[in-house]
Structures are given as C-alpha cells and as structure tokens.
Amino acid sequence: MAYYYDEPSRTFSEYLLVPGYSSTTCVPANVTLKTPVVKFKKGEEPSITMNIPLVSAIMQSVSDDKMAVALAKEGGISFIYGSQTIEKQADMVRKVKKSKAGFVSSDSNIRPDQTLADILELKEKTGHTTVAVTEDGKPNGKLLGIVTSRDYRISRLDTNTKVSEFMTPIEKIIYAKEGISLKEANNVIWDNKLNALPVIDENQRMVGFVFRKDYDSHKENPLELLDSSKRYVVGAGINTRDFAERIPALVEAGADVVCIDSSEGFSEWQKLTIEWVRKTYGDKVKIGAGNIVDREGFRFLADAGADFIKIGIGGGSICITRETKGIGRGQATAVIEVAKARDEYFAETGVYIPICSDGGIVHDYHLTLALAMGCDFCMLGRYFSRFDESPTNKVMVNGSYMKEYWGEGSARARNWQRYDLGGATKLSFEEGVDSYVPYAGSLHDNLSVTLSKIRSTMCNCGALSIPEMQQKAKLTLVSSVSIVEGGAHDVVLKDKTISPV
C-alpha cells in the first residue's frame, strides 16, 4: 500500500508571518541579506557568499550573459542556461567574466596597418569604443597606441585610412606598468582625467585595462558580487548527459559555480555527475543539485556531495509537471521539511549545506516567507523574465507591453535533458508552457523595491539577518477567508488615472 502523508502540502500563500519585538536598531538600513551559496564546515566561511538571497533560473528565457551582469551588480547570481551548445554557454560565461572591472583583459585589439573600416567593424562587434593597437593585433601584443572615439570623425576621415595615421601613439599615452595596485591605477585615472588606463609589462606588451566606468559602477552598486579578481560572479546550468564535456569548458571560461538543471534530483544520474566532479576537481568546482521536495531527497544529494540543494517540483508559473504527471509537492511544505533535514545534517556532520527554494514565488512577500521557513536563497524565473535584461522579446499584446516567457519543458525550449530519465534523446511530452508576462522595466528599479519589502518585513520580525530571521520568525496558517481579508475589500477602489476635481 502507498505511503500517505497525514497533512496536505501547502503553498506560501497559506502562511503569514506574525510580528515580533523590534528594537530601535531594527531598521531596514541595518539589515544584511548576505547568505551562503555553497556548503561549509562549522566555524569556517563559505567560499561563495551572495549579498542578496536571489538567483535567476536556469532558463533560456531568463538567464544569459546580460542578465548575469545585471544581477551580479545587485549582489546575486545568474545561472546561465545550459540548453544550448557548450561553446555558446561557455562564451556567455566568458563575456560576464570579461565585463568587469579591476584589470580587464583587452578584447578589442587591432594592428596599425588595418583601417578605420576595421575599427568600425570591431566596434560594431564588441560594442567597445576603446581599442588597443598592438603590433600583432592580439590582446597581449606589444602596445603601439590607442584608438578611442575621440581619435576620428567618420564624416571627415576616409574609411580606408590606416589606423597608424589617426591613433594616439604610445608616446602620448599615460599608461601603467604591471604590478600596479587597483587603488593606485584608479588614482592615476582620476589624477589625469582618463577614461581608460592601459597596463603593460616590462616588454611593452599589453596586460589589460583599468576603466573609470568600473570604479563608478562599484560606487553605484555597493552590493555587487565580485570574485577575487574583481570580476562578476556567474553560475551555469549543466545536465547529467554531457557534463564531462560541458563542465571543463565552463570552468575554463570562468564559471564560479555550476548547478544540475533537472526537474527531479533524487536519482543516480545526479549522484554519478557529482561523483565525477569530485573525482576530477575535488572540492575546487562547486556544484548544486536538485530538485527535491523532502528529507530523503535532501539526504541523498547531501551524501552524494552536493554544494547546495534546490527544492521544488511543479511550482513554477510555467511548469505543468503536476497536472501532466501528478507529481510534486506544495512549495512551503517542501521548504519546511528540507530545512529541518538540513539542520539535522548540520548537527550530525558539522557541514552546512545551503538550500534554495525554486518555484512557487508569486508575490514579493513569498520570498520573505521562504527565507523564514529556512531556505538560504530563492531561484526565480518569472520574476526576472519581466525585465529589460532578460533575453526575450518585448511585444505588444492587447495594448500592453509583455515579455515572452517559456518553460524549459516546453516544445519551444526542447530541453529534454532536464527531464531525462535515461531514455530517448528527445522531449516525449511537454512539462512547461509558452507564455507572456507583463513587462516591468529595469531589473535594478524593481529589485530595489522587492529587497526593501524583505528588509522591512525582517524588521517587523525583529531580525537583522537571514539566520536571525529563521530563529525568530513565527508563522501562522491562514484560512481562505482571512486571505480575502488581507487584501483590499468592501471598498470601491479609485481609478488612479482620474484626478480629483
């Protein structure tokens, strides 16, 4: 006879937080949202920590290099989708690592015997206006000069003009020698009113650039998430089929963490994938696994060696796994049970494995509930898909701007690997839909509001950090009528577009 759970599984909308005592120091400005991403031993620090508890979903319609840069600026991590060729995914990772800061290797280079036409073509390709003129046109060639947009006017210069005729030669360039610190380099930039400072070695070979805009960017984004080389932190999705080829390419490209993208993680396929990573890289490569929804699933992946574990089956807004296959669990119940299992594992082993709630987030307050219930961070798809930075088209639907959004289990994504059970190399049936979501504008503006709500709610509970929130939070189940009571009711709402007479 099948095993029956005594209680129904529940969603986030069935819970509310009960306020706790707030001291005068409990104000949003004092709240920290730092959270661990990968496992660590008691008394030690995790090798990867985020400044906000949000990551973007491993989806074609959500996470590419543009989203990764935008979210890293805010303190989170994007997991670039894996349902594409290894080369394309690695290239996206590479773009993210090159887009930031400190000492940036030059990816816009040209020879002095090339022409203005080549400069314009290179600018179109890379989007960069600062070009290093090297002897051989390579990133580490001997630096002969620099070309910026101030060195030429298209209307006054023939496109066949040689670069050597209009470039700023090295004799007139302010540059730095290899070994200079980032602080010293920024001082040179400010003292000399430069936009870019080339760095060369003792043989005049190009090492890289330091850009003024990166200094400005850091000041505007104090929570931005950087690695030890001052580059943006980025994640990448993998599958349990081609991991032996995909992971080395992603690691070489600079991925900080990878995650198995699967609808169901309680399987030997994931164990074999993690074992291969440990045998090949030891603990140097960080790998997340999932998805699971109960204690058993957590213990299986924890024992297999996962660095973090994702929770959630069938709760995504574009996921139809539950109605297609009748499998899954209410997200709130799943998070609560797995959080207890995580704490048990920590007490037994002294190893803390972060857990990620993936799916089931409809409203901003659901994020705070998920954190209070025990998750360390949340993975969001629909939320991020609405923004300018997502890779999908903005379209007009019935007079309103929308963004396209489709599931990895849809016919459009054709990501059969995510639902692979060792069978045929195709998508047998759909577990996701193709849809639209309301366009919401920029990531920064919307995320600022969401994070403000989280910080404010934490203060209502008397907590200044996520661990403190989990210790102090009091949760109550709510009835269907109290859910109605919680919204605007028994009033006629004013039309916000009508001005008072």
| Residue 321 contacts residue 328 (beta carbons within 8 Å) | yes
Cis peptide before 101 (omega within 30 of 0): yes
CA distances from 134 to 76, 146, 205, 212 (A): 36, 9, 8, 22
Give residues with Cβ within 8 angstroms of 137, minimum separation 6. Answer: 109, 110, 111, 114
Query: Catalytic residue numbers?
Result: 319, 418
Place of tokens 């936009």: 195
Rg (CA), the chain: 25
Give residues with Cβ within 8 angstroms of 486, minimum separation 6. Answer: 16, 478
Nearest Cα neighbor of 356 from 331, 327, 329 is: 331
| Residue 439 contacts residue 402 (beta carbons within 8 Å) | yes
| Residue 454 contacts residue 26 (beta carbons within 8 Å) | no
Measured distance CA(269)–CA(448) in Å, rounded: 39
Alpha helices of 16-128 — where are they, by DSSP H?
Answer: 65-74, 86-98, 116-126
| Residue 208 contacts residue 106 (beta carbons within 8 Å) | yes
Nearest Cα neighbor of 97 from 225, 247, 185, 280 is: 225
SS (H, E, C) 169-191: EHHHCCCEECCCCHHHHHHHHHH
Q: Which tokens sit at 11?
A: 């969603």
| Residue 64 contacts residue 81 (beta carbons within 8 Å) | yes
